[in-house]
Amino acid sequence: MKTKLILILLTLSLFANQSRAGEGMWLPLLLSQLNEKEMRDMGMRITAEDIYSINHSSLKDAIVLFGGGCTGELVSDQGLLLTNHHCGYGNIQKHSSLEHDYLTKGFWAQRMEEELPNPGLSVTFLVRMEDVTTQAMKGVNDKMSQKVRDSIIRANSKVLVKEAIKGTQYTAQIKPFYNGNQFYLFVSEIFTDVRLVGAPPSNIGKFGGDTDNWMWPRHTGDFSMFRIYAGKDNKPAEYSKDNVPYHPAKHLTISLKGIQEGDFTFVYGFPGTTQEYVPSYAVDMTALERNPIAIGLRQQRLDIIDKAMENDRLTRIQYSAKAAGISNSWKKMIGESRGIKLLDGIEKKQSFEQDFQKWAQSNPETNAKYGQVLPAFEKIYGAYIPVNNAYTYLSEGLLGIEMVRFAYGFNNLVKKCNDKSIPDLEISKLIDGLKQSAAAFYKNYNRQVDTQLFEALMTTYSQSCETGLQVPVVKETAAKYKGNIKSWTSDVYKKSVFSDSTKFYALLAGFERRDVRKIEKDPSYILASGIYTFSQNTFYPLVSAFTAANDSLQRLYIAAQMEMQAGKRFYPDANSTLRIAYGNVKSYKPADGVEYKWYTTLDGIMQKENPEIYDYVVEPKLKELYNRHDYGRYADADRSMHVGFIASNHTTAGNSGSPVLNADGQLIGINFDRCWEGTMSDLMYDPDQCRNISLDIRYCLFIIDKMAGAKRLVDEMTIVQ
Ligand code: ARG
Ligand code: GLU
């Protein structure tokens, strides 16, 4: 009996020292030290050195940060790159017009000359990374304030960065890890001539739309293709038609062999942000305070916008991208709060905190260093939560009114017009810029929709945001209208020049300096400027004081956790640097009595088909191929066309477009989402519920080859069968 108990305790403590299978976003540099053995035990057949090496080419040379917030991977020696459709969306849209509606119909360049340049788009390769903790922290001690500490580190970093890129075309950056306990240097190479090669029509690339977003079973063909161009020396060059396709040091081999449940997989990409080591107070603030407020306000916006889109085609074009953005975070937040609740996330953190406190107080030295960390957290979060809530009402509510957000952009003009030292020429340049942003704004603006948004959001703001932290102009104006928001709304939209593009352009057309009075008197501007001033003078100091206090506590807290759990491997929170997540292809049980299989097929697309519902219209050509069962070499061994699959890799926003690789390091899928039940993984990972969603690479190639007929692209790739 006794030995059994000891055995159980032993196994339990053993598990406590392991991060949960699938959990973690690991540094490629440290794989051989921390993960390689486990990865191989899980089935991997390549080495850590094959994944990341600075001595010879490795898989890392085929991975890029795509734009600012997605990942892409090289799939040919001609610079051909794959990412998600939703990552290329903005650029696909920019090339689209009513005559060439690439967004709706898809786009495939037939020859390299037809590939379309995208000013402003860049891709970033990691050349190398290095632990520079000692150098970055030179001169830092425990006694100094967070501010002094930060400034020393900043100064050290500047020197290190300069040194690292001397005599090269590279850029470099130093980023904090473990909340500022460690620092790594990243040397990168940025390419700016990136051209659009192809994109499927929206009814493939966005099939299921916002309805299916964050959900499994999923059937979205979420991919698009670009190509990196370089100068003749294969180095980064500004766009020029003389540029040539870039030859990467490595491109991925694509496997058509198919996937089985249990297979080892890993995701190589640039996850954005996670907060795995925060105290219960932080989880409480996000899951129980911030999310519900933001969810409610986004729900109001979506109700209004969705209805308007349903009733009018133009409104759909104008608002679909906006609605997608609003809906994406809305649904993520619902899933996240729900996930934390079902996981007893806050209780789990609290119980850890009790152990932590006991450990800290168990010896005078740790007590002196860490004994006050949790009480201090409790205090600062207690004071900050109301502020954060009020700020959420402001940013998600007041700034959800389009006209107010637009008027917000005029602050600078007003300031400059009133500053006599600013020459007229500068004012007219500003006006030119504003004319351009106005064109972009009004192109997608519907006044009726916005009027409804104003009334709904203002009503919620006035009723629900804590009065002491309400923007004074809003409070005063609501009082002036005796709380009659409806009549306030109708006055604003009647009087404001911002609500009417014709009036607005007339004002800008003949703008003279003294016309600034008209802007200053405008009710939208008055609101916007009141919000701005209140944010600057009241919120900003509160937020930055909290952030400074929180940063220094969090730094201590994670150092303490590492000291307390000395045997445990800690992965650093995501911070948009290159990481590896690994796990297995795996089904899951989202609810009592339900089990989700690990893959979906084209049959599911046909089952979802509904010509009446925008998100579920099936592309006719795809239907033909389905009816003919014409899948070629892309069919699975079970003869069906696999579309998506899930696995236990720990991913987050920024991992969109990341390659999903098999045990041999071959490309089997493109990551594009997470299952809704597991969206709390940014705060807490649950091996039972957290799954990343990937597009099966065979479906992607099937679309390129059979549907788009772009065989020239498939021929460039390295494919194994
Ligand atoms: N949820 C995915 C992500 O966070 C996809 C978002 C784009 N798709 C959409 N239907 N809104 O980026
Ligand atoms: N769709 C997300 C992205 O754009 C990935 C989903 C997630 O958050 O895991 O990065």
pLDDT of 19 > 60? The answer is no
Q: Give the ligand at the shortest distance from the Cα of 672.
A: 2
Work out the pLDDT band at 596, boundaries 50, 70, 90.
very high
85 and 673 Cβ atoms separated by less than 8 Å: no
Work out the pLDDT band at 98, boundaries 50, 70, 90.
confident
Ligand 1 in contact with 209 (CB < 6 A)?
yes
656 as an active site residue: the answer is yes
Q: CB neighbours of 525 closer than 8 A, spacing ≥ 6?
A: 407, 410, 414, 496, 498, 519
Would you list the DSSP string of 211-240?
Answer: HHTT-SS------EEEEEEE-TTSS-----
Question: Among candidates 640, 565, 561, which has minimal Cα distance to 604?
Answer: 640
What is the rounded CA–CA span in Å between residue 245 and residue 342?
Answer: 50
pLDDT of 3 > 90? The answer is no
Residue of the CA atom closest to atom 10 of ligand 2: 653
- Please report the pLDDT score of residue 18 as a whole number: 45
Ligand 1 in contact with 673 (CB < 6 A)?
yes
Q: Which atom of ligand 1 is nearest to the CA of 324?
A: 11
Ligand 2 midpoint to CA 622 (Å): 26
Question: Among candidates 501, 495, 479, which has minimal Cα distance to 435?
Answer: 501
Residue of the CA atom closest to atom 1 of ligand 2: 673
- Please report the pLDDT score of residue 357 as a whole number: 98
Q: Which atom of ligand 2 is nearest to the CA of 332?
A: 8
Ligand 2 in contact with 682 (CB < 6 A)?
no
CATH code for the domain defined by 19-122+192-272+571-721: 2.40.10.120
Ligand 2 in contact with 674 (CB < 6 A)?
yes
Q: CB neighbours of 443 closer than 8 A, spacing ≥ 6?
A: 318
Question: Among candidates 632, 645, 526, which has minimal Cα distance to 597?
Answer: 645
**Percentage with pLDDT > 90 across the chain:** 92
Ligand 1 midpoint to CA 564 (Å): 38
Question: Among candidates 578, 570, 499, 562, which has minimal Cα distance to 266?
Answer: 578
Residue of the CA atom closest to atom 10 of ligand 1: 210
Could you tell which of 92, 319, 656 is best to mutate to test the pocket of ligand 1, judged by most ligand atoms within 8 Å of the CB?
656
CA distances from 509 to 124, 418, 520 (A): 41, 19, 17
Compute the average pLDDT of residues 646-653.
98
329 as an active site residue: the answer is no
Catalytic pick from 222, 284, 450, 686?
222
pLDDT of 201 > 50? The answer is yes
Ligand 1 midpoint to CA 325 (Å): 8
Ligand 2 midpoint to CA 288 (Å): 22
Ligand 1 in contact with 213 (CB < 6 A)?
yes
More confident residue, 15 or 412: 412
Ligand 1 midpoint to CA 596 (Å): 21
- Please report the pLDDT score of residue 12 as a whole number: 44
- Sequence ranges of the chain with CATH classification 2.40.10.120: 19-122+192-272+571-721
Compute the average pLDDT of residues 622-626.
98
SS3 state at 643: strand
- Please report the pLDDT score of residue 20 as a whole number: 60
Compute the average pLDDT of residues 397-419.
95
What is the rounded CA–CA span in Å between residue 595 and residue 600?
Answer: 13
Q: What is the pLDDT of residues 227-239, one digit of tens each?
A: 999 999 999 999 9
Question: Among candidates 118, 126, 328, which has minimal Cα distance to 225?
Answer: 118
Q: What is the pLDDT of residues 293-338, one digit of tens each?
A: 999 999 999 999 999 999 888 898 889 889 999 999 999 999 999 9
- Please report the pLDDT score of residue 561 as a whole number: 98
Q: Where are the beta strands (DSSP E) in 456-495?
A: none
DSSP letter at 571?
P
680 and 639 Cβ atoms separated by less than 8 Å: no
Catalytic pick from 86, 219, 642, 650?
86
SS3 state at 497: helix
Q: What is the pLDDT of residues 216-268, one digit of tens each?
A: 999 999 999 999 999 999 999 999 999 999 999 999 999 999 999 999 999 99
Ligand 2 midpoint to CA 702 (Å): 24
Work out the pLDDT band at 548, boundaries 50, 70, 90.
very high
Per-residue tokens: 171: 């850029």
Q: CB neighbours of 404 closer than 8 A, spacing ≥ 6?
A: 398, 454, 524, 527, 528, 531
pLDDT of 15 > 70? The answer is no
598 and 661 Cβ atoms separated by less than 8 Å: no
300 and 461 Cβ atoms separated by less than 8 Å: no
The helices-and-strands tally (H runs, E runs) of the chain is: 30, 22
Q: Give the ligand at the shortest distance from the Cα of 655.
A: 2
Work out the pLDDT band at 9, boundaries 50, 70, 90.
very low
What is the rounded CA–CA span in Å between residue 704 and residue 710?
Answer: 6
CA distances from 231 to 109, 194, 235, 244 (A): 21, 12, 6, 6
Kindly report the average pLDDT of the chain as a whole number.
95
DSSP letter at 665?
S
Amino acid residing at 605: I
Residue of the CA atom closest to atom 3 of ligand 1: 673
Q: What is the pLDDT of residues 27-64, one digit of tens each?
A: 999 999 999 999 999 999 999 999 999 999 999 999 99
pLDDT of 104 > 60? The answer is yes
- Please report the pLDDT score of residue 93 as a whole number: 85
pTM: 0.94
pLDDT of 174 > 70? The answer is yes
Ligand 1 midpoint to CA 334 (Å): 14
CA distances from 521 to 149, 309, 561 (A): 45, 33, 55
Number of other CB atoms surrounding residue 51 within 10 Å? 23
86 as an active site residue: the answer is yes
Burial degree of 469 (CB within 10 A; 0-12, 13-18, 19+)? middle
pLDDT of 10 > 50? The answer is no
Q: Give the ligand at the shortest distance from the Cα of 679.
A: 2
SS3 state at 594: strand
pLDDT of 6 > 80? The answer is no
Ligand 2 in contact with 656 (CB < 6 A)?
yes
Ligand 2 in contact with 446 (CB < 6 A)?
no
Per-residue tokens: 340: 């934390």
